[in-house]
């Protein structure tokens, strides 16, 4: 009987129920922050108590049905279970500490399909980790070089916006990643010309790691299984 319950908690109906419950918890956690939903604060507090009770019961059940409960409690998912319920259990149940409960999202990794997909991503990352490391260094150097150039282009025209090279690094980072917040931007002709070049380089910076990662994924077999 214990083995059946343990299997259900890991791969069966109970596992699916817990995963659905986690999603419902995240939804209620999100809705609770909306000003228009403040009138339902008592309901949200009750739901938080219900969630806590269920997750505590889940953890106790696992400890009862597993052959090595202490080994599970010291495992990754055991620590996730414990940390997600600990604030409520010790009486620290403020709204700020409820953020800690979002660690429950990691429990979705127990889903076999999600776990298999995550494993494929991990394997792909391992295949291109050296290329990504070299690319990361190149990106950092490009950001610094761009900040230096735009600083000398814009400092006299905008001494407050481009007050120093560190300040210009923020502009370089936002521009190279194609985010472009627009809080600081070049106004000189030379600065605008250089910005155009940086923006074009930024497109490549976004595309290159994506291409490396996609290529690595394509070389992996479809039936990659989680290791160990």
Please give the average per-residue pLDDT across 77-96, as a whole number. Answer: 73
The yes-or-no verdict on residue 171 having pLDDT over 80 is yes
Q: Which two tokens stand for residue 14?
A: 């109970």
* Residues in contact with 200: Cβ distance below 8 Å, sequence separation at least 6, in sequence order: none
The H or E element spanning position 147 is: helix 129-154
123-218 CATH fold: Helix Hairpins (1.10.287)
Rounded to whole angstroms, how far apart are CA atoms 139 and 136? 5
Give the least confident one: 12-16, 91-95, 109-113, 130-134: 91-95
Helix axes 129-154, 112-127, angle to 10 degrees: 70
Average pLDDT over residues 176-198: 84
The two structure tokens encoding residue 47: 């739901």
Residue 227 burial (CB count, 10 A):
7
Q: What confidence score (pLDDT) does residue 180 get?
A: 66
Looking at residues 57-82, what average pLDDT do you find? 86
Asked whether residue 123 carries a pLDDT value surpassing 90, the answer given is no
Asked whether the predicted pLDDT for residue 77 surpasses 90, the reply is no
Please list the residue range(s) of the chain that carry CATH number 1.20.120.350.
2-110
What stretch(es) of the chain map to CATH 1.10.287.70?
123-218
**pTM, to two decimals:** 0.59
The per-residue pLDDT for 224 is 46
Looking at domain 2-110, its CATH architecture is: Up-down Bundle (1.20)
% of the chain with per-residue pLDDT over 70: 90
Residues 109 and 19: their CA atoms lie apart, in Å, by 9
Averaged pLDDT, 152-170 = 90
Does 142 score more than 60 pLDDT?
yes
């Amino acid at each position: 009987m214990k083995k059946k319950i343990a299997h259900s908690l890991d791969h069966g109906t109970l596992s699916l129920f817990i995963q659905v419950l986690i999603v419902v918890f995240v939804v209620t956690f999100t809705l609770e922050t909306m000003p228009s939903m403040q009138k339902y604060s008592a309901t949200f507090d009750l739901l938080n108590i219900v969630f806590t009770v269920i997750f505590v019961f889940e953890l106790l059940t696992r400890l009862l049905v597993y052959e090595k409960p202490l080994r599970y409690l010291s495992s990754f998912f055991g620590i996730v279970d414990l940390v997600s319920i600990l604030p409520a259990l010790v009486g620290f149940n403020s709204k700020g500490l409820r953020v800690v409960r979002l660690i429950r999202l990691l429990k979705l990794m127990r889903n076999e399909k999600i776990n298999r997909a995550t494993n494929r991503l991990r394997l792909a990352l391992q295949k291109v980790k050296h290329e990504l490391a070299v690319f990361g260094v190149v990106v950092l150097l490009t950001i610094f070089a761009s900040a230096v150039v735009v600083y000398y282009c814009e400092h006299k025209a905008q001494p407050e916006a481009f007050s120093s090279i560190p300040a210009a690094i923020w502009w370089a980072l936002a521009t190279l990643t194609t985010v472009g917040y627009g809080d600081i931007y070049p106004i000189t002709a030379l600065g605008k010309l250089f910005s155009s070049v940086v923006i074009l380089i930024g497109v490549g910076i976004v595309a290159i790691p994506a291409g490396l990662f996609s290529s690595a994924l394509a070389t992996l077999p479809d039936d990659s299984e989680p290791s160990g």
